[in-house]
Amino acid sequence: MTTISAEPAAPATPASTLDLAGVSRWYGNVVAVNDVTMRLGPGVTGLLGPNGAGKTTLLHMMAGFLSPSRGEVTLDGMPTWRNPEVYRRLGLVSEREAVHSFLSAYEFVLASAKLHRLSDPEAAARRAIALVEMEDAQDRKIGTYSKGMRQRTRVAGALVHDPQVLLLDEPFNGMDPRQRLHMMALLHRLGDAGRTILFSSHILEEVEQVSGTVQVMVAGRLAASGDYRTIRRLMTNRPHVFRVRSTDDRALAVALMAEESVTGVELGRDGLTVQAGDYGAFTRALPKIALARSLRVRSLTPEDESLESVFSYLVGS
Amino acid sequence: MSTVSWITARGLFGRRRFLLLLPLPALLLVLAILSRSLGVDPGEWGPAVLVGLGLAVVLPVVALIVGTGVLGAEIDDGTVVHILTKPLPRWQIVLPKLAVAAGVTAVTVAVPLYVAGVLAHSVRLGLALAVAASIGSLAYCAFFVALSLVTRRPVLLGLVYVLIWEGLLGNFVSGTKVLSIQQYVITLADRIAPTGLLTSDVSVPVASVMSALIAVGFTALAIDRLRSFSVAGETS
């Protein structure tokens, strides 16, 4: 399996960077994470992979809850393992972590603020609770909350010290659609504000809606990293599929078959489905062909640039 | 009270297993009051109630429930991650938890032992039992808190220590008494109030030094293990 790199542009504002250098983790004979190297900077990144791909193990190593069997995980140069100081800059919302059901959300977040030794823990707690829109229920015991409300409370607890890096393991689990949209908007805002946000998910639509940048784990290895649309374009061994509609689809189909970058054309009722071996060559050639035949291209839509198709190619390869 | 102590105490009293603490001390009190009110000779019921029930069962079992509850229960349900993701040196987590555990155990056990000691002999015996039980609470809790971090079955291993090592082997293999917190407590109580009701098998220096060593050694072990705490290896 080859790793395809399409790193996003450098962040506009200086922020924390999480580095993994040749990180592996094994349990006996089972290799959970295999030689992963990645750098996470500001913005929202989705950690994507099927169940058992090693996402949680990787997140636990990033958060200092698991020692790498080989390699090193550092946050701004500091190792995360056996180093509680990293939690000044890092917040974690793990998948399994339960919340103290005997506390209210306010008490829970306030306790987090006090444990961080913040100068004004009450104000920090109120700000974090407002961020996740839990003001109305903040004085009720957490034991009475829905799963989504507990999840938001945990996010508030992880955000109370305004960390530069936030790691979330399957953050949308148990949330209803409205809460999901709210959480997505929150992650967007944090990413836009220069925070380094990494969230894991095995649900493609979630990742696609929250982040264009992905780290794709398959069978313990980092299969791809970067913007998934760019990753798709780098997959030159797979033809790109376009949907084309024009003033005369049949004439355009005949003309396209003579074009070297086109490997197949299918004429359908709602236009042409074109397979192109070379993304750049095809998109440059199409306007010239249309112009030469006096045709007008009404629409050109890439059909397999979705995260789903990128993911299925990576997992299937 | 530190935030860690506050959360620990709320967690301890907020869980149903806390109710398990109540029947044994109550039984100790009831037996002592019954024996005294029925006019039974303290030489007959004293050793059985004070040592056989109080120091051999109530003290270690309460310490086991509390000691494994302050950290082990949080590890079991995952809430420990909340405290561990804070920039706190790990000793600032272990020491408050140990203090809460030892304090709760001492109060739960020392009060009925004090009353039973007074009923059996004198206020001095009551005080001696309360003081020795408090020292024992610290040693037992340090041991059980450390056990929570070295094994996933701290209650089972703790019960093996209390029932097999102290309870069974202590009666047949005299050497095991040197490594028995129960014996240290008996020796210290007997040293403070020599009454003839308690029979000690280890010397006072051994009991004092070993109690201190166990408390300090297992606390240090717990701190070190918490520094390297790993979340169980899920690979989803």
Write down the ipTM of this complex: 0.86
Interface touch A51/B81, C-beta < 8 Å: no
Average of per-residue pLDDT across B56-75: 94
Mean pLDDT of chain B: 93
Strands A43-48 and A213-218: parallel
φ, ψ of residue A201 to 5 degrees: the values are -165, 150
Interface touch A56/B235, C-beta < 8 Å: yes
Of A22-26, A28-32, B229-233, where does the model show the most confidence?
A22-26
How far does B48 lie from chain A, in Å, by closest CA?
A: 40
Interface touch B235/A54, C-beta < 8 Å: yes
Instruction: Give the angle A89-B95-B62 at the CA atoms, nearest 5°.
Output: 130
User: Of B183, B178, B191, which Cα lies nearest the Cα of B56?
Assistant: B183
- Which value, in Å, is the radius of gyration of the alpha carbons in chain A? 23
Angle between helices A249-257 and A279-292 (to 10 degrees): 120
Q: Does pTM surpass 0.90?
A: no
Residue B235 included in any domain: no
What pLDDT, on the 0 to 100 scale, is given for residue B234?
A: 45
Mean pLDDT of chain A: 87
Interface touch B7/A54, C-beta < 8 Å: no
What pLDDT, on the 0 to 100 scale, is given for residue A317?
A: 61
Residue range(s) defining the domain that contains residue B140:
3-227
Cα-based distances in Å from A22 to A3, A205, A213, A220:
13, 29, 21, 12
What pLDDT, on the 0 to 100 scale, is given for residue A232?
A: 72
In the block, residue with structure tokens 């409300």: A149
Asked if the C-beta of A48 comes within 8 angstroms of chain B's C-beta atoms, the answer is no
How far does B135 lie from chain A, in Å, by closest CA?
A: 30
SS (H, E, C) B81-147: HHHHCCCCCCHHHHHHHHHHHHHHHHHHHHHHHHHHHHHHCCHHHHHHHHHHHHHHHHHHHHHHHHH
Residue B108 included in any domain: yes
Overall size of chain B counted in residues? 236
Average of per-residue pLDDT across A54-59: 92
Residue B232 included in any domain: no
Q: Considering only CB atoms, which residues of chain B are within 8 Å of chain A?
A: 3-4, 6-7, 10-11, 14, 77-79, 81-90, 227-231, 233-236
* Chain centre to alpha carbon of residue A107: 31
Interface touch B14/A102, C-beta < 8 Å: yes
How far does B97 lie from chain A, in Å, by closest CA?
A: 14
Share of chain A above pLDDT 70, in %: 93
Fold of A4-228: Rossmann fold (3.40.50)
Let me know: does A92 contact A158? Beta carbons within 8 Å: yes
Cα separation of B140 and B189, whole Å?
A: 16
**Above 70 in pLDDT, residue A260?**
yes
**Above 70 in pLDDT, residue B41?**
yes
Average of per-residue pLDDT across B75-100: 94
User: Of A91, A94, A220, A250, which Cα lies nearest the Cα of A157?
Assistant: A91
Residue B80 included in any domain: yes
Residues of B in contact with A57 (CB under 8 A): 233-235
Chains A, B: CB contacts under 8 A, how many?
95
**Above 60 in pLDDT, residue A9?**
no
Domain with CATH 3.30.70.100 in chain A: 235-316
Cα separation of B31 and B112, whole Å?
A: 11
Give how many domains chain B has, as a whole number: 1
pLDDT digits (tens, 9 = 90+) for A78-91: 999 999 999 999 99
**Above 70 in pLDDT, residue A5?**
no
Residue B213 included in any domain: yes
pLDDT digits (tens, 9 = 90+) for B7-30: 999 888 877 777 888 999 999 999
Residue B142 included in any domain: yes
Cα-based distances in Å from A299 to A138, A243, A272, A286, B86:
50, 8, 10, 11, 53
Does domain A235-316 correspond to CATH entry 3.30.70.100?
Answer: yes
How far does B8 lie from chain A, in Å, by closest CA?
A: 10
pLDDT digits (tens, 9 = 90+) for A281-314: 888 899 999 999 999 999 998 887 677 777 777 7
